[in-house]
Amino acid sequence: MFKSIFSKYLTTFTVILLSCILAIIASVTVVTVDDMRSAQYSTMRSVAGSVAAAIEAVAKDMSFNSVDETFTRSGTVKSVIAAESAGSGSLIYVFGADGRFVGASAGIPEKDLSPAAVNKMFTVSDSYAVSTVEGLYNENMVNIYRVGNVNGERYIVLVSDMKLSRGVMDKKMVLVAVTVSLWVFLAAMISLYVISRRTTRPLSQIVQAAKGYAKGRFDQKIEVSGQDEVAELAKAINEMASSLAHIEEVRNSFIGNVSHDLRTPMTTIAGFVDGILDGTIPPENREYYLNIISSEVRRLSRLVNSLLEMSRMESGASLNFVDFNLTEKARNVLISFEKKIDAKKLDIEFDGGDEDLFVNADADSIHRVIFNLIDNAIKFTPEGGKITVKVESVADGRRKRKARFSIRNTGDGIPSEELPHIFERFYKTDRSRGLDKTGTGLGLYIAKTSLVNHGEDLAAESVAGEYTEFSFSLRLAETKEK
């Protein structure tokens, strides 16, 4: 029944609005009608009092002895009754003590009341009741009784109003309230329709886009208008789609790069092995080609190890935080490259400061980071160039100090347009493709990911034709922190 948000909104809003309208109509009608009735009752009492006062005043002024004589010999009372009846819209009767008809407003038939009815009125003076007054009227009327006295003779002034008894006032009030409420309801429904459509239309687009994303179509965009929560949701989903598209692109590139990096050495190995087996490669050249095969196998091993390390870090593998000497570790890693350094006749400068710096981190992960950075520096430093390794204590901006490792090498540097991409998986600059034939393009990515897992970052800075520098910071060990 309720398959859409719009139908739920419409049904719920309609029920609530109708309930409120009915409650308002009932309460306003009751309160207003009661107020109007009270005002009319007061008017009727005033009319009854005015008629009685006129009768008694005329009788006194003219020295009349009875109510009948007053009506018979003076037209003043009749004029007062006519005026009061026209002004209040009420019917006016005057009866003697025995129920005998004395006078009435124009157009009312002459009728007598029983003595019992008059006696009952005498006992409840100046009150009202809803009745036909013993058949005086053909239907119920609201009646006001007023007892008067002329020279000791009592009489009754009866003021009756048909509008109150028939509920005409109630009907008019209800009609007005219902008419106004219908207009309010119509306006509310139009507003609800417009607002709901503005809300549900982008939601429908979001649903369609989500179905497209599930099928791999990340180019679908949702039209965003306004600044409300739905617009924010649409913006967030558009951003998510862009991110998913980028991830898909990276995934495809990753698969392509891995396939290429695996296929190339495997093709080389297979070709040389087949050549050795079928005799194409003569025995005297086998050692040369076996060395190539050995090199390609080591390249495959490095690639597989890098992929395994990348997978381990991306899966959130826990780190083993221990206190260790960062200065000594950097020195030892640098010494392990002595053969490569001598082969390129590089000038090495190591600045460890006045004292060793101890840090709290995963020693194996930091070892790989330093190893990759020094290895890259040696690869891309021209023969006879200079590499500077520095370990120092620096402030981190929060009144604490950290250990900072940096390595700078001279050379062509990294082009500024390529610098933001060097930490991406399998990314190689155009220059590095020519200088590094054995690299996998994962070293910097693994180093940066490792440091991110430590809550730190790997920064890169380069000036074309001058130098390239990489640096990172680690938290000092508490027992050694200054």
Average pLDDT for 193-219: 75
- pLDDT for 209 equals 79
The answer to whether residue 185 sits within a structural domain is no
pLDDT, residue 324, reads 93
Nearby residues of 135 by Cβ (< 8 Å), 6 or more positions away: none
Does residue 170 have a pLDDT over 60?
no
Residues 13 and 87 grouped into a single domain: yes
* Tokens read off for 66: 């009875």
Q: Which of 132-141, 224-233, 254-263 has the lowest mean pLDDT?
A: 254-263
CATH number of the domain residue 51 falls in: 3.30.450.20
Q: Residue 471 belongs to a domain with what CATH number?
A: 3.30.565.10
Does residue 236 lie within any of the structural domains? Answer: yes
Better pLDDT: 263 or 84: 84
Asked whether residue 153 falls in the same domain as residue 54, the answer is: yes
C-alpha dihedral over 457, 315, 439, 409, to 10 degrees? Answer: 10
Show which of 297, 315, 333 is a domain's final residue: 315
Share of the chain above pLDDT 70, in %: 81
In this prediction, residue 239 has a pLDDT band, given cuts at 50, 70 and 90, of: confident
pLDDT of residue 438 exceeding 60: no
- pLDDT digit string, tens, across residues 187-205: 877 877 777 777 677 777 7
Clarify whether residues 361 and 300 are in a common domain: no
Domain count, the chain: 3
Range of the domain at 440: 318-475
Same domain, 323 and 311: no
Each as own residue / partner, the long-range contacts of residues 424-432 (CB below 8 Å, 24 or more positions apart, any chain) are: 424/250, 425/250, 425/253, 425/254, 425/257, 425/310, 426/253, 426/254, 426/257, 426/258, 426/261, 431/380, 432/379, 432/380
- Does one domain contain both 249 and 334? no
Is residue 245 situated within a structural domain?
yes
Lowest mean pLDDT among 54-68, 163-177, 402-416: 163-177
pLDDT digits (tens, 9 = 90+) for 49-93: 899 898 889 888 888 888 888 888 888 888 898 898 888 888 999
Q: Residue 433 pLDDT more than 50?
A: no
In a domain, 157, yes or no: yes
Residues 54 and 93 in one domain: yes
**In the listed set 170, 190, 209, which residue is the last one of a domain according to the structure?**
170
Residue 99 has pLDDT above 80, yes or no: yes
Mark whether 336 and 470 lie in a shared domain. yes
pLDDT recorded at residue 481: 45
**Looking at residue 244, which CATH number applies to its domain?**
1.10.287.130
pLDDT, tens digit (0-9, with 9 covering 90-100), for 314-354: 665 677 889 999 999 999 999 988 988 999 999 999 998 87
User: Which of 43-57, 132-146, 238-252 has the least mean pLDDT?
Assistant: 238-252
In a shared domain, residues 116 and 105: yes
225/472 Cα distance (integer angstroms): 43
Band (261; pLDDT cuts 50, 70, 90): low
Mean pLDDT, residues 148-171 = 75
In this structure, is residue 240 part of a structural domain? yes
Q: What is the pLDDT of residue 314?
A: 62
Residues 301 and 360 in one domain: no
Q: Lowest-pLDDT range, 72-76, 150-154, 442-446?
A: 442-446
326 and 239 within one domain? no
pLDDT confidence tier of residue 374, bands split at 50, 70 and 90: very high
pLDDT band at 208 (very low <50, low <70, confident <90, very high): confident
Indicate whether 117 and 161 sit together in one domain: yes
Has residue 223 been placed in a domain?
yes
Phi, psi of 98 (to 5 degrees): -95, 10
Same domain, 266 and 325: no
